[in-house]
């Protein structure tokens, strides 16, 4: 069998396309979110941009870059990465559940009144960062 | 489970990437199996044994047998 490794870099214009696509989509989403809250246009547009930026650029990378950088496994469901992802997702779910319970108890006991939107944004950020870190930890443990 | 996947692979002069391509899985999967940090599914274990022309128990052995 040959020892030719899969090329891991896409042509530079594909990265630029992904960034341009992600930026355009982010601006479009932020304008829609901003227009839906005309009283606080820039605040709403900023929150819209923050929430849309990562998925938009990821979508751009998936569309324009991943074909050049990702090896297509015929049996991807048998690969260890899926196990790492499942473990990370289940761990992150429990973390978010515990965090939600703790925050709920604190809010109830302290009789605090908070807006739902920042709390939901924090939960989204927590779940994404938690799952990502757990995946990296699983990967590190398995490959060290 | 313990396994002798690395020795069998090296006997054939294959790299981990070669074996990963033959099995249709990622190279990280091969690395993890060889280091005993990931137990493959039964279909993948069958595929590995078929790839090397042997039985599953020739490649994999249980660490704790009663």
A63-88 residue pLDDT tens: 999 988 877 777 878 889 999 999 99
Sign, CA dihedral B7-B8-B14-B16, equals negative
Q: Which of A1, A78, A81 sits opposite B22 (nearest CB)?
A: A1
A7-63 residue pLDDT tens: 578 899 999 999 999 999 999 999 999 999 999 999 999 999 999 999 999 999 999
Give the span between the Cα atoms of B33 and B8, in whole angstroms. 13
Closest-approach residue (CA) in chain A for B21: A73
Q: Is the pTM for the entire model greater than 0.90?
A: no
Residues of A in contact with B24 (CB under 8 A): 73-75, 78
How confident is residue B65, by pLDDT bands cut at 50, 70 and 90?
low
A69 vs A90: which has the higher pLDDT: A90
Residues of A in contact with B35 (CB under 8 A): 142-143
* A86 close contact with B: CB closer than 8 A: no
Q: Produce one character per residue of B6-29: b if its CB has 16 or more CB atoms within 10 Å, e if not.
A: eebbeeeebbbbbbbbbbbbbbbb
Which one of B14, B18, B20, B24 makes the best mutation probe of the A interface by having the most chain A beta carbons within 10 Å?
A: B24
Interchain proximity A75–B44, CB inside 8 Å: yes
Give me the interface pTM, i.e. the ipTM. Answer: 0.80
Does the structure show a pLDDT above 50 at A4? no
Give the span between the Cα atoms of A38 and A66, in whole angstroms. 38
Cβ pairs bridging A and B (under 8 Å): 59
Say if residues A79 and A73 touch (Cβ distance below 8 Å).
yes
Element (H, E) at A25: helix A12-35
B41-56 residue pLDDT tens: 999 999 999 999 999 9
* A140 close contact with B: CB closer than 8 A: no
């Amino acid at each position: 069998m040959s020892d030719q490794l899969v090329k891991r870099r896409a042509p530079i214009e594909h990265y630029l396309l992904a960034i341009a696509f992600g930026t355009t989509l982010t601006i479009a989403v932020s304008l829609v979110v901003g227009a839906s809250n005309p009283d606080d246009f820039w605040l709403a547009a900023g929150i819209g941009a923050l929430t849309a930026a990562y998925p938009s650029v990821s979508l751009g990378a998936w569309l324009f870059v991943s074909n050049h950088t990702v090896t297509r496994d015929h049996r991807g469901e048998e690969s260890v990465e899926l196990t790492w992802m499942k473990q990370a997702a289940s761990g992150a779910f429990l973390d978010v559940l515990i965090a939600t319970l703790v925050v709920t108890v604190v809010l109830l006991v302290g009789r605090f009144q908070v807006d739902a939107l920042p709390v939901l944004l924090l939960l989204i950020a927590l779940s994404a960062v938690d799952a990502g870190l757990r995946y990296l930890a699983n990967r590190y443990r398995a490959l060290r | 489970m313990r396994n002798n996947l690395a020795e069998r692979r090296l006997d054939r002069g294959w790299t981990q990437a070669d074996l990963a391509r033959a099995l249709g899985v990622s190279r990280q999967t091969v690395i993890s199996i060889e280091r005993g940090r990931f137990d493959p599914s039964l279909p993948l274990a069958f595929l590995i044994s078929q790839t090397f022309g042997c039985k599953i128990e020739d490649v994999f052995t249980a660490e704790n047998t009663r």
